[in-house]
Amino acid sequence: MSSSHPTIGITMGDPSGVGPEIIVKALREMSPELRSSSAVIGNLALLKRADKLVGAGLTFIESLDAQGGAVPVVNVQTKDQAQIRDGEISAAGGEAAYQYIVKAVELALAGKIAVIVTAPLNKAAMHAAGHHFDGHTELLAHLTGASSSFMLLASDKLSAVHVSTHVSLRGATQRGSTERVLATIRAGNDHFKALGITSPRIAVAGLNPHCGEGGIFGTEELDHIGPAVEQAQREGINVKGPISGDTVFYRALKGEFDLVVAQYHDQGHIPTKLIAFDETVNVSLGLPIRRTSVDHGTAFDIAWQGKASPVNMRAAVAYARLMADRMPAKVAA
C-alpha cells in the first residue's frame, strides 16, 4: 500500500438501503490519502450509481492497492442481483449484504484490512436469504468462530457495553449470569485500556428498579451482578456497581465513569442514542477481528433519494481508524 494509513474495509450493507450513498458521501469528505486506504466491499456498479446520485465524483479501482485519492473496491457479485429493488426488503438484498460481510471477514482474518466498518443490513432480508442471525455482531461471531461477543455503543459523551442485546426482555434476565456479566466487564475494560485509558472507570447498571431494593424487586443484583463486580474488583478492574439504572447513565454523562455496563439492549441503547444519536458508533468486542458500524438501520423509506446523512458513517470510520492506529493488529477489540 502506498498510503501510510492501515486499510479499513467498509461493507456496503443491504444495497436496497442507504448504505451505498452514505459510504460515497463519507468518502467524498476524506483526504485523498484516507480515501485510498478506505476499501469498499460490495457491488461496484451500485457504488458507481450511488456516486452519480450524490455527485461525489469519486474514482474507483478494483484493487486494495489504490493511491492518489482513488477508492479501492472489492467487487462482490451475488446471485439474483437483478431482483434487488430500491427501498424494498428482499432475499437478494439480504444475500448480498451477507456475502459482503463474508468477504470482509476473510480479508480481515488474512490481515489485508485492519478494521471492518459495516453499513446497515436488514435482518428480515437476511433471514429471507436463509441466514438466520440476529444482526452483524452475531454473524461476525459465527464467521470468526468466536465463543462470545459484546456490543459496545461508543461516543465522546456516553458509552455502554451490553450484557445481552437481541433477545427478549425475559431472555435478557436469564442471560445475565455472573459469568456473562463478568465477561462483559472484562471486555469493556480491555477495549478501553487498548485505546490508551490506563484504568477505565466502569459502572455496572442494575437490572431491577432500585437494584432490587435488597431483593424486594428481584434478586439478580444479589445473585449475579454484585458477585461479578466483586470478582472484577479482585482482578484489579476499576469498576463499581450495581448502580440503579435510573441514575448510572446520568453519572457517566457528568464524567464520573468512562463506560457503563448495561444489562440489556434498551437499557443501554436508549440513553446513548438520546444523548448522541448521530455520533454513537456500534463496536463489536470479543472477536478475533475489529469492527465498527453505524448505529442506524437501512432507512428504506429514504434510500436512493440522496437524502441520507453520512454523519454516523463518518463517526464509525473515525473510530475504526482510532482502533487501527492504537491497537496492535492481533488485539480482538
82-125 tens-digit pLDDT = 899 999 999 999 999 999 999 999 999 999 999 999 999 999 99
**For residue 228, what pLDDT is reported?**
98
In this model, does residue 330 exceed pLDDT 70? no
Q: Is the pLDDT of residue 250 over 90?
A: yes
Q: Among candidates 21, 46, 74, which has minimal Cα distance to 304?
A: 21
Whether the CB-CB separation of 261 and 202 falls below 8 Å is answered with yes
- CA–centroid distance for 182 within its chain: 21
Query: Is pLDDT of 331 > 50?
Result: no
SS3 call for 152: strand
Alpha carbon distance 225, 204 (integer Å): 8
Rounded Cα distance between 1 and 281, Å, is: 27
Q: The dihedral of CA 90, 96, 102, 108: what is its sign?
A: negative
The pairing of strands 71-75 and 60-61 is parallel
Q: What cell does 258 get?
A: 468512562
For residues 198 and 76, give the distance between their C-alpha atoms in angstroms, rounded to a whole number.
Answer: 41
Does the pLDDT at position 31 exceed 60?
Answer: yes
- The pLDDT of residue 276 is above 80: yes
Sequential DSSP letters for 174-240: HH--HHHHHHHHHHHHHHHHHTT-SS--EEEE-SSGGGGGGGTS-SHIIIIIHHHHHHHHHTT--EE
pLDDT at 5 over 60: yes
pLDDT reported for residue 1:
40
Write down the pLDDT at residue 79.
84
225-261: burial string, b at 16+ Cβ within 10 Å, e else: bbbbbebbeeeebebbbbbbbeebbeebbeeebbbbb
Output the pLDDT for position 14: 96
Give the model confidence (pLDDT) of 115-159 as tens digits: 999 999 999 999 999 999 988 888 999 999 998 899 999 999 999
Residue 3 has pLDDT above 70, yes or no: no
> Domains (ranges, CATH) in the chain?
1-149+286-333 (3.40.718.10), 153-277 (3.40.718.10)
What pLDDT does 4 receive?
Answer: 66
Instruction: Determine what percent of the chain falls in helix, strand and coil, rounding each to the nearest 5.
Output: 45, 15, 40
Which tens digits make up the pLDDT trace of 190-219? Answer: 999 999 999 999 999 999 999 988 999 989
Statement: residue 314 has pLDDT above 80? yes
Cis preceding linkage at 242, omega within 30 = yes
Using DSSP's 3-state secondary structure scheme, residue 91 falls into helix
Q: What is the C-alpha to C-alpha distance for residues 202 and 205, in angstroms, rounded to an integer?
A: 10
What pLDDT score does 333 carry? 43
User: CA 225 to CA 174: how far, in whole Å?
Assistant: 12
CA torsion through residues 160, 164, 165, 171, sign = negative
Q: What is the pLDDT of residue 328?
A: 60
C-alpha cell at 270: 436508549
Predicted confidence at residue 332, as pLDDT, reads: 42
Is the pLDDT confidence value at 2 over 60?
no
Where does residue 293 rank: exposed (0-12), middle (13-18), buried (19+ CB within 10 A)? buried
Question: How do residues 218-234 score in pLDDT, each as one tens digit?
Answer: 899 999 999 999 999 99
Q: Which residue has the cell 450484557?
A: 163
Percent of the chain with pLDDT over 90: 84
Give me the pLDDT at residue 221, please.
Answer: 92
pLDDT tens per residue, range 45-76: 999 999 999 999 999 999 999 889 999 999 99
Amino acid symbol at 114: A
Q: What is the pLDDT of the chain when averaged over all its residues?
A: 93
